[in-house]
């Protein structure tokens, strides 16, 4: 009990210091200010801009109705494929949709193949065509996507994961964005489908809501999308074919986004919007172990892609200054440097100061972070979320989020070390070893 009162006492002390001493404030919060404030402003103004845009779009009728091909990358998802296909068939989009289920390793994944086959029988609707493309020999995600691309007849290609399902107005909202001929690709909005399964899925739901629905919506208004998700993205077919489709190696989604962005300087009108109103629901990892494994892959691949594969092309000559600086700060520094800074800072504080003081300091940082998160959460809830009631239930879990975010930063540190020293991108589970072996080394 005395520990707690000491803690409260020290916290009060720190609060007092913060209020009375600007120097201390400068000492503890500069990182936050330098780093988060620009992002904070960009996103806030972006979202406001988007809200206006949304009103304008909703009041105009859709006349551009190209044929769309959805490439579903199926592996061992089994029955989940059914929901994906059905939700695509159910789209209210009045144009034609070609649903191509590409099953990688259809011999091992026979169940998935049969479920997809059953869907072809089951779901028959006007303007919807289900195509099965079994790849008997396993070839990995990239080969699956490119196989789908080579078959697809639609003007727009939507790549989706087999464990992802969609709101019925997804396609109508998505196609809208392609009306602008300067749009070569669009990022799709992802939501967590299994929110209420575990604490971890709840945390991820908050994460997706803030970083995707909030962050990407805002950033896209300034044409600063950093990644078109591999689980749900859309591309103009001719453009995609022109740049050679998906490239081998892991993190093919980030790779493709980076490659598209390399045209930004040469074609300054190009833009990658974020389809905030095109909602996809995907299953997030339920256990901590699965989550860590996923993040190890994501963060490691990110380092591989930025620092190994695309390092030579990382230049304002290709990206333009705006995207160069943004990628430098919020691509490289945030994802590569920041986790280490946080780790070192945290350890340093714990070693240098007495534990009561360290704890109090961390509490203040926590409060600051919670405040930021709370702000974004409310912003998204009020202005972006199409399911505000459902998202409101996450409110109670918000206090746990800064802790989750901190743990994820530590996982990220580990992932980066793992990539630097063990070249973890070469042991991806996204393609068989005989394919990975032949890929160009970076």
Partner 1 sequence: MNKQQLNDISLQKIWIGELKDIDFLVYGHEFTVFNDVEHFFSGFEAQSHFPLIVFADNIVNQGEALKKIRKHELLWQSCILVNTPCYLSEALANGLFNKQSDDFYNSVITRATSLNLSLNLVDSALTKLLSFMWIYKDNSLLPVHDLSINSVYYYPLLECFGVNTKDAMSWLSSIHRRKLLQTDKLIDRVRYCRHCQSGHLNYVDSCPSCQSIDIASVSSLHCFNCGHVNGESKFKEGIGLSCPNCHTKLRHIGVDYDRPIENQKCNQCHTSFVDADVIAKCFHCQTSNQVDELIVQNIHSYNISMEGKSLIRLGERFDNFNLTSTDSINYSHFEWVVKWQNQLAVRHQQTHSIVKIELKNLAQFIAENGEARAIQLIDEFESRINESIRTTDICCLAGEHTLLLMLPNTTIEHLSFVYQKLKGISLLNKNSDFSLSIKGIPLPSKEMPDEIGVWLEQQFAAQQESVL
Residues that bind partner 1 (CB under 8 A): 58, 62, 83, 86-87, 90, 92-93, 165-169, 172-173, 279, 281, 386-387
Q: 2 or 60, CB closer to partner 1?
A: 60
Compute the least distance from the CB of residue 279 to partner 1, in Å. Answer: 7
Q: What is the largest CA-CA distance in the chain?
A: 72
Residue 182 or 390 having the CB closest to partner 1: 390
Distance of CA 300 to the CA centre of its chain: 15
Q: Sheet of 232-236: strands edge to edge?
A: 128-135, 97-104, 68-74, 156-161, 232-236, 185-192, 274-282, 164-166
Residue (281 or 409) nearer to partner 1, CB: 281
- Nearer residue to partner 1 within complex by CB, 327 or 385: 385
- Which of 168, 211 has the CB closer to partner 1? 168
* CB 200, CB 291: distance < 8 Å: yes
Helix (H, G, I), strand (E, B) or coil at 82: helix
Nearer to partner 1, 296 or 380 (CB): 380
Q: β-strands 164-166, 274-282: how paired?
A: antiparallel
Euclidean distance between CA atoms 366 and 411, whole angstroms: 18
Q: Least distance in Å: CB of 79 to partner 1? A: 13
The position carrying tokens 């919020």 is 330
- Smallest distance, Å, CB 90 to partner 1? 4
Any bridge partners for residue 280, and if so which? Answer: 166, 190
What interhelical angle do 141-151 and 252-261 show, nearest 10? Answer: 60
Report the nearest approach of partner 1 to the CB of residue 333 (Å).
Answer: 38
Q: How far is the CB of 63 from partner 1 (least distance, A)?
A: 12
Pairing status of strand 97-104 against strand 128-135: parallel
State the nearest-atom distance from the C-beta of 170 to partner 1, in Å: 9
């Amino acid at each position: 009990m005395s520990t707690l009162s000491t803690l409260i006492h020290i916290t009060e002390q720190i609060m007092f210091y913060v209020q009375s001493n600007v120097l201390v404030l400068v000492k503890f919060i500069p990182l936050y200010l330098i780093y988060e404030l620009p992002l904070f402003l960009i996103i806030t103004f972006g979202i406001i801009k988007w809200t206006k845009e949304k009103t304008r779009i909703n009041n105009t009728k859709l006349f551009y109705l190209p044929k769309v091909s959805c490439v579903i990358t199926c592996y061992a998802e089994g029955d989940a494929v059914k929901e994906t296909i059905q939700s695509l068939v159910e789209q209210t989009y009045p144009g034609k949709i070609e649903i191509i289920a590409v099953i990688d390793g259809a011999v091992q994944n026979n169940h998935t193949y049969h479920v997809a086959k059953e869907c072809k029988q089951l779901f028959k609707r006007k303007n919807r065509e289900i195509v099965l493309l079994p790849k008997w020999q396993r070839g990995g995600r990239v080969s699956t996507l490119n196989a789908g691309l080579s078959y697809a007849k639609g003007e727009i290609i939507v790549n989706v994961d087999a464990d992802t399902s969609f709101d019925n107005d997804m396609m109508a909202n998505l196609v809208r964005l392609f009306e602008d001929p300067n749009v070569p690709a669009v990022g799709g909005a992802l939501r967590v489908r299994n929110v209420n399964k575990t604490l971890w899925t709840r945390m991820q739901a908050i994460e997706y809501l803030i970083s995707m629905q909030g962050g990407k919506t805002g950033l896209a208004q300034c044409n600063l999308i950093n990644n078109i998700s591999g689980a749900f993205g859309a591309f103009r077919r001719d453009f995609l074919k022109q740049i050679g489709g998906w490239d081998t190696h892991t993190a093919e989604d980030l790779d493709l986004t980076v490659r598209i962005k390399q045209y930004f300087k040469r074609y300054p009108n190009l833009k990658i919007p974020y389809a905030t109103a095109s909602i996809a629901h995907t299953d997030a990892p339920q256990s901590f172990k699965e989550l860590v494994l996923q993040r190890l892959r994501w963060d490691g691949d990110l380092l591989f892609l930025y620092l190994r594969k695309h390092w030579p092309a990382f230049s304002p000559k290709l990206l333009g200054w705006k995207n160069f600086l943004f990628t430098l700060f919020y691509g490289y520094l945030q994802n590569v440097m920041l986790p280490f800074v946080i780790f070192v800072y945290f350890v340093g504080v714990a070693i240098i100061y007495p534990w009561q003081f360290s704890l109090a300091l961390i509490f203040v940082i926590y409060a600051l972070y919670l405040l930021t998160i709370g702000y974004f959460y409310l912003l998204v809830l009020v202005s972006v979320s199409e399911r505000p009631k459902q998202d409101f239930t996450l409110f109670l879990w918000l206090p746990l989020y800064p802790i989750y975010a901190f743990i994820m930063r530590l996982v990220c540190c580990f992932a980066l070390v793992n990539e630097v020293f063990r070249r973890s991108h070469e042991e991806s589970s996204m393609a068989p070893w005989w394919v990975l072996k032949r890929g160009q080394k970076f």
